[in-house]
Amino acid sequence: MIAKNPNIANEKPTACLALADGTIFYGKGFGAPGITTAELCFNTAMTGYQEIMTDPSYAGQVVTFTFPHIGNVGVNPEDDETADPVAEGMVVKWDPTEPSNWRAAETLTAWLARRGRIGIGGVDTRRLTRAIRQQGAPHVALAHDPDGNFDIQALIAAARGFAGLVGRDLAKQVTCAQSYRWDQKRWAWPQGYEARTAPGYRVVAVDYGAKRNILRSLVSAGCDVTVLPATATAEDILALDPQGVFLSNGPGDPAATGAYAVPAIQGVLERADIPVFGICLGHQMLALALGAQTVKMNHGHHGANHPVKDLETGKVEITSMNHGFTVDAQSLPEGVTETHVSLFDGSNCGIRLADRPVFGVQYHPEASPGPQDSQYLFERFAEAMRTGRTTVSA
């Protein structure tokens, strides 16, 4: 099935998105030429396309942006969440325009081309998003050829041959190669990013695909952060004498990453005096280490407008999310309390141990991009290190 695009009716298409079911979307290519295969998801955020493309949690995925104005503020080095884009490509409704923002250092098109990532514009993203919601996240092949030459059958075959995300450990692909210290705080006007110079709580952050603004939020909350690779053992972590252990976000199937991450976390949990805080994949790793299970979602949660209810306070937070797997709340063992749920579908969004300073959330409280309703969680982690409690006063 071919999806016609009225925007390029009189032009030869230079990009093609082929779904594994044979559906074809044509459009105008931008960024780097080439072909990539991935899982296709959609993101509903109205801002932050650069942060989304550089979020390591998007490894193995092409992102459809439901908001039409993509590229209008350009890109700049300050907004990268990691050194290079991690998402395989992007799908947008309107072709990126010239940026109109004082912080822009480069156009989105030039940035993608220089970083080797493919974009396709002029696509009916509403139709594509509905298909993802109804049928689940499809496997796709995305091609950009300035001459407009496409082997459609080969692209469909490539989409069908994509291995998918189930059973894949992608954390090893995006984690740091060696340990390092992080002292940069969150951005603030007018000075920008500043380094923390005061002593802080010794925190070991296990990097399953950590975003820079998560590390900055830890530092701003009073932490002295040392980052270790995803494969760090309990011995590696405890050798640094941490006052707290942080488990980062990341991509792929948590059960696959758990093969080596779960034993490490369980080794840390043997020390009852060390607070542990997990975000996104780190939350899922923590749940697995405590005896729960994770499952693949139909199309996941990707956006900056997801309502989450805190079951302990009754408050509702608007959160930023990016995950295709979730903790199965029905599998939570005795002693593990569900603390947060999604108001979209009731899926688990938070857990804690009943009597230990150990907790995690499925969403991204660093808000990059997104609302800042959940920044308090970093302060809660710092408070847990100070007092040994998992909660602070609301």
Q: What is the pLDDT of residues 1-30, one digit of tens each?
A: 555 454 455 689 999 999 999 999 999 999
- CATH class in words for 171-387: alpha beta
Residues forming beta bridges with residue 278, ordered by sequence position? 247, 360
Residue 12: closest CA among 212, 166, 148, 142 = 148
Instruction: Note whether 15 and 26 are within 8 A (CB).
Output: yes
**Percent of the chain whose pLDDT exceeds 70:** 96
Neighbours of 1 (CB within 10 A): 8
The model carries a pTM of: 0.95
Least confident of 135-149, 340-354, 377-391: 377-391
Do strands 139-144 and 15-19 pair parallel, antiparallel, or not at all (unpaired)? antiparallel
Helices H / strands E in the chain, number of each: 10, 18
Q: Residue 299: what are its φ and ψ, rounded to 5°?
A: -140, 5
Average confidence (pLDDT) over 385-390 = 77
- Per-residue pLDDT tens for 94-125? 999 899 999 999 999 999 999 999 999 999 99
CA dist., res. 280 & res. 352, Å (int): 14
Query: What is the third-level CATH fold of 2-161?
Result: Glucose Oxidase; domain 1 (3.50.30)
Question: Does residue 214 sit in helix, strand or coil?
Answer: helix
Start-end of CATH 3.50.30.20 domains in the chain? 2-161
Q: Residue 186: what are its φ and ψ, rounded to 5°?
A: -65, 155
- Token pair listed for 10: 């009189």
Q: Is the pLDDT of residue 385 over 80?
A: yes
CA dist., res. 6 & res. 247, Å (int): 46
> 376-387 and 212-220 are packed helices; what angle lies between their axes, rounded to 10 degrees?
50
- Per-residue pLDDT tens for 176-207? 999 999 999 999 888 899 999 999 999 999 99
pLDDT in the model for residue 394: 36
Average confidence (pLDDT) over 81-99 = 96
- Per-residue pLDDT tens for 44-58? 999 999 999 999 999
Average pLDDT, the chain: 95
Site of tokens 């390092």: 180
Average confidence (pLDDT) over 77-82 = 96
Contacts of 190 (CB under 8 A, 6+ apart): none
Residue 394 gets which letter from DSSP?
-
Start-end of CATH 3.40.50.880 domains in the chain? 171-387
CA dist., res. 109 & res. 97, Å (int): 9
Catalytic residue IDs = 280, 364, 366
CA dist., res. 138 & res. 184, Å (int): 38
- Per-residue pLDDT tens for 337-383? 999 999 999 999 999 999 899 999 999 999 999 989 999 999 999 99
Q: Is the pLDDT of residue 168 over 90?
A: yes
Residue 46 gets which letter from DSSP?
S
